[in-house]
Structure 1
Amino acid sequence: MSELLDKIQNRVIDASITNETIGSLTVFSGEIIACDPLIPHHEPFAKRVSPGVYPVILWWHQEEERIAGAELRLSEEKPVRWEMAVRPGQNISSLEPGSVFGFPVDAGLGCFADARAIQEMERLEERLARELGDQFISFYDNKIEFILEENEDNWGNLLVKEENGLNVILFASGYGDGHYASYWGIGDNGEPVALVTDFNLF
């Protein structure tokens, strides 16, 4: 277990780490995606959760003044163990020592989203490109940048479908680009109580 996961499991707040609840994620389908929102073709994790609205918490490395991890809290119950979040077809036993299944980051951003929210985000990008024509630079420049600016470029809440509240919670990814794993926190009953993306600052 990483030091970050240990701190989250025990709800540790000390001189090295603090946390901040930044909003709630609407889960409609139960299929969760953690990814760089600007890299297309994302696949949800194999494990599903109950539809609902769940808080998203950022864990800050105090000395580095960077986001060490992002947590989708599914329950107030503390995890009793952690398991790497995998997508269909991924087998943890096939990994070489020190390797992880995770997602690549090329824009310094990660996110949590329902699978349907990612689909709606891609449609939003297509509509924006059509509407702006030659004024469309990129989805980041014409949309996401302004949402992040509201929170000093650290995080943002992108509403992609107003009718049902589907949204994408965006956050800066530690030191930036890289490859980051996510982990399910499992409760006493064997069900997930949290999902954490670890940005390897601890």
Structure 2
Amino acid sequence: MLESRRRSPAPYLNPYLDDLMCEGATVLLAGARSRIVAHSSRGKLDMPTGHVVACEPTRFFDGIPFTETIAPGRYEVQEIVLRDPDSGNEWTPVVAVLLRVSEAPAVSWEMAVRAGQDPRALEDGGFYGFDGVLSPGDPSSTPNRSVRQDS
């Protein structure tokens, strides 16, 4: 008897993720519109425990960290926007926030998860989290109070 093999579901993966991490990269959007990736430093984030959380800072903070940790310290936070290549104007609001933990380029990506979450259990295109405004932080910090504009 032949065993039917079902492929594993493919969780959502932003097709522009690699480009968004590279300032100056050109992103080709639907309709053949190109945009230039621009990063803007927003200050340093205190990460005293090395545990990383992401939350909607104005109404949702449960303090549950992702399973991967970073070394405790202070890390640069950058907003990522897309600019029109002809005018230089921002085309959209902030499209991503980058918590820069290293200057070295990433060699691979995996979905950030909390304890008990398994990306293999998601349906095609699925993801953990929610749509909306997200802010990175340390669970020991109060949201919106741990980013400092000083270097």
| Paired residue secondary structure (2:46) | strand
Contact 2:41 2:77 in 1 (8 A): yes
Map 1:1-202 to 2 at 5 A: 1-14=13-26, 15-37=35-57, 38-63=59-84, 64-105=91-132, 109-118=133-142, 158-159=144-145, 167-168=146-147
Aligned partners of 1:103 and 1:85: how far apart in 2? Answer: 13
Structure 2: 5+ residue stretches without partners: 1-12, 27-34, 85-90
Q: CA RMSD in A?
A: 2.1
1:104, distance to aligned residue in structure 2 (A): 4.8
Task: Give the number of the structure whose residues are more often helix, by fraction.
Answer: 1
Structure 1: 5+ residue stretches without partners: 122-157, 160-166, 170-202
1:103, distance to aligned residue in structure 2 (A): 3.4
Task: Give the number of the structure whose residues are more often strand, by fraction.
Answer: 1
Q: Percent identity?
A: 28
| Paired residue secondary structure (2:95) | strand
Q: Which runs of 4+ in 1 moved over 6 A?
A: none
TM-score of the pair, normalised by structure 1: 0.54
1:60, distance to aligned residue in structure 2 (A): 0.2
Aligned length in residues: 121
The one-letter code sitting in structure 1 at the alignment partner of 2:53 is I
TM-score of the pair, normalised by structure 2: 0.71
The one-letter code sitting in structure 2 at the alignment partner of 1:22 is R
Give the number of the structure whose alpha-carbon radius of gyration is greater.
2
